[in-house]
Chain A
Amino acid sequence: MDEKLEPIYQAVLDGDMPAAQESVQTAINSEFPAAEILNSALIPAMGEVGRLFEDGEYFVPEMLIAARAMKAGLEIIKPLLIDSGVEPIGTFAVGTVSGDLHDIGKNLVAMMMEGAGFEIVDLGTDVGSEDFVAAAQNGANVIGLSALLTTTMSNMGGVIDAIEKAGLRDQVKIIVGGAPITDGYAAQIGADGYAPDASQAVTLAKLLIE
């Protein structure tokens, strides 16, 4: 890795937000292309964070501070990415389904997706079918449905039906997650996939839009 990118990568892994901002700024000052900062430092760093999380070396606090450092770096290069016409790898719209206010898992998934190069549309919590349909209409390639509760997970199927009814099912991939959700349940309601954690959600989403 380039010596200008190494400190960015390390700052994200360490969850050191000021160091991430500083090292991104240093790279920009020496006219390093923004796309390279994104693709060769920020995204690989978050990929490593995901790997460490899956391996049980990182937990929620470490993932949160890494994502925060990544985001701070990304904010700095965003205008430059737009100027140079760099496109996100896809648009990921995510929300916790109707009746459910739990957002911890949903937020972790959004952070990891952003760290993988997706543009994020965070629909929030207690999100009705119509808002997921609108997100599909507005060009989301992947939609993530989250639920913590057995009493709200049944609303996931309704969202998928609504997207189907709107004639949008073919143009969007739908992934589901949350404590009581399983592979079998995802298949039963017609989702395209299920992931047990935020890191595996990224792998799944990338696979689905390939």
Chain B
Amino acid sequence: MKPRERVEMALNFEKPDRCPMQVSFTPEFADRLRADISIQGERVHNPHGGGNTYELERALNEDMLLTSVGWANSYYLDDKPYVDEWGVGWKVQPYETPFGTGHYTEIDYHPLADESAISSYQAPDPHRPELYQDSRWMIETFKEQYWIVGVTVTTIFETAWALRGYEQTMIDMVLDPVLADELFEIPYRYHLAAAKKLVDMGVDMIQTGDDMGSQNAMIISPKLWRRFFKPRMANFISELKSINPELKIAYHSDGDVEPIIPELIEIGLDVLNPVQPASMDPAEIKKKYGHQLCFWGTIDEQHTLPFGTPADVVEEVHDRLKTVGYNGGLILAPTHHVQLDTPLENFWAMVNTIINTPLDQI
């Protein structure tokens, strides 16, 4: 079965031969993986941005390939401090793991911290042809075999808080909603234009979204979500599906977002990602919403993958297949890029269990 057929069946609530799989990695984990399977990478692996040759993804037998356009591509742009094209300043933060030193890029300057800068701000142009070169190449090269996902995450909220600052964005929503609207329109318009272009170019699915959940609760109330984000997401989904009615839409949010799941379904969502198991029980979510919604993710990246044993990982994959993926409707994936602190034994336990477990045996 072709990888793209496998995904297509799962997203249509049919049972493919095995559960589809998608995995992304931080650049340093990708280096370790390349060494482990003796693949010579030509370029630095960036889980967000351009330059990915998809060698690792294909070697692992992944089923979906992702191509990203938007502010999220500003992550991992350099190994020294930089300012991205939105004017957001970044620094490079090293961290130590048992498997070596890794680096995260972290935001340290917000160009719209001063309110007066918002009205005159010029966002980058989403219509530049060069933004879509990598996507065009990967669609032409891989669409015949793989399910292609156009990624425009950090669609509204996360880009806005990078531009304005997290606390100030929160405060704007409650104290100055008009200003908050003006702020949110900036990334929203950009990512909508990018997503439309990607749909025109032939992606099978768009991944949109913003982190609306913290570990135990939503960051903002469902009421504020309805005020600022639901109408924009509803329009985003409807504009994209009017270009291609067959298009699937996946929404990404870390953490607990259960309170808004029914309304995400109402506005046309097809797939929820990543269903972080420490925040929402995937089996419960499947029971409540699995007849209308598919899931992408569910493999714990906060405990099991970095700190569990290979047997724990196998058990978790089996559990997900039994409780969520048994009748389709699931693409298994870690709930974040696999981090440098993950033992390779755990990583392979996950990959091998997914690709070697026929759904008929579940």
> Which A residues are within 8 Å of any B CB, using their own CB?
15, 56, 58-62, 64-65, 68, 99-101, 104, 107, 126, 149-152, 179-180, 182, 196-197
Which residue on chain A has the smallest CB distance to residue B218?
Answer: A59
**22 A-B Cβ contacts within 8 A?**
A15-B174, A15-B175, A58-B221, A61-B173, A62-B221, A64-B167, A64-B170, A64-B171, A65-B174, A101-B106, A104-B167, A107-B167, A150-B301, A150-B307, A150-B341, A151-B97, A151-B341, A179-B215, A179-B278, A180-B303, A197-B216, A197-B217
Q: In the bound complex, how far is the Cα of B213 from the Cα of A56, in angstroms? A: 13
A61 touches B220 (CB 8 A): yes
> Which B residues are within 8 Å of any A CB, using their own CB?
91, 93-97, 102, 104, 106, 108, 166-167, 170-171, 173-175, 214-221, 224, 278, 301-303, 306-307, 339-341
B220 touches A60 (CB 8 A): yes
Which residue on chain B has the smallest CB distance to residue A17?
Answer: B175
Secondary structure of the A side of the interface?
Answer: loop
Q: Contacts A61-B173, A151-B97, A151-B341; is A179 near B302 (CB within 8 Å)?
A: yes
A-B contacts counted at CB < 8 A amount to 75
A62 touches B307 (CB 8 A): no
B171 touches A104 (CB 8 A): no
Q: In the bound complex, how far is the Cα of B166 from the Cα of A9, in angstroms? A: 26
Among candidates B93, B167, B219, B302, residue contacting A180 with C-beta atoms closer than 8 Å: B302
B83 to chain A, nearest CB (A): 17
Q: In the bound complex, how far is the Cα of B171 from the Cα of A15, in angstroms? A: 10
Q: In the bound complex, how far is the Cα of B167 from the Cα of A62, in angstroms? A: 11
In the bound complex, residues from chain A placing their C-beta under 8 Å from that of B104 are: 101, 149
B215 touches A196 (CB 8 A): yes
B95 touches A100 (CB 8 A): yes
A68 touches B95 (CB 8 A): no
A59 touches B219 (CB 8 A): yes
Which residue on chain B has the smallest CB distance to residue A101?
Answer: B106
Q: In the bound complex, how far is the Cα of B108 from the Cα of A126, in angstroms? A: 13
B340 touches A151 (CB 8 A): yes
B254 to chain A, nearest CB (A): 9
Of A56, A99, A126, A150, most B-chain CB atoms within 10 Å: A150
A151 touches B216 (CB 8 A): no
Among candidates B96, B108, B175, B339, residue contacting A65 with C-beta atoms closer than 8 Å: B175
User: Which 10 A-B pairs have CB atoms at the shortest separation, nearest pair first?
Assistant: A99-B95, A61-B170, A180-B302, A179-B215, A101-B106, A59-B221, A150-B306, A61-B174, A151-B95, A151-B341
In the bound complex, residues from chain A placing their C-beta under 8 Å from that of B91 are: 101
Which residue on chain A has the smallest CB distance to residue B172?
Answer: A61
A20 to chain B, nearest CB (A): 13
In the bound complex, residues from chain A placing their C-beta under 8 Å from that of B170 are: 60-61, 64
In the bound complex, residues from chain B placing their C-beta under 8 Å from that of A149 are: 95, 104, 339
6 further contact pairs, Cβ within 8 A, besides A15-B174, A64-B170, A151-B339? A15-B175, A60-B170, A64-B167, A150-B301, A150-B341, A180-B302
Q: Contacts A59-B218, A59-B221, A99-B95; is A151 near B102 (CB within 8 Å)?
A: yes
Q: In the bound complex, how far is the Cα of B220 from the Cα of A59, in angstroms? A: 5
A126 touches B93 (CB 8 A): yes
B93 touches A99 (CB 8 A): yes
Q: In the bound complex, how far is the Cα of B287 from the Cα of A40, in angstroms? A: 47
In the bound complex, residues from chain A placing their C-beta under 8 Å from that of B166 are: 104
